[in-house]
Amino acid sequence: MAAPGKAAVVLKAVKKIVIQFSPFESNVRSTREFLALVGSEKARSTNMSCEVVSYVKHDKSEPVVDVTYVDGDRLVMKGANLTTKEMINAFQSRCTAKDPQTKTSGKK
């Protein structure tokens, strides 16, 4: 799980997150931990209109996280070879870049 003192997950710039995994595979841990972080009440409260959907499959498929941002951009992460930290870092850096409040001339 998340280490204490870590930056909270902020979903402001995110429209939808689709997470798919087969729960009994050995390479699914990081994807499940990512789901726990973005699906937590604290993270969800940062954007109530963000849709978080999880598909639990039993077909030995590769764990995948598909993030759609409000500007239509997408981030697809294949969780089999990524750690939870790598997934969160990629997600957070993209979110920070897209968050209108972090831009100096931020008017939409």
Residue 84 CB: number of other CB atoms within 10 A? 19
- Residues 71-105: tens digit of each pLDDT: 999 999 999 999 999 999 999 999 988 876 654 33
Least confident of 3-7, 40-44, 45-49, 57-61: 3-7
- Residues 2-33: tens digit of each pLDDT: 444 455 789 999 999 999 999 999 999 999 99
| Cα of 100 vs its chain's centroid, Å | 18
Domains and CATH numbers, the chain: 14-95 (3.40.30.10)
Look at the block and give the residue holding tokens 């409000």. 70
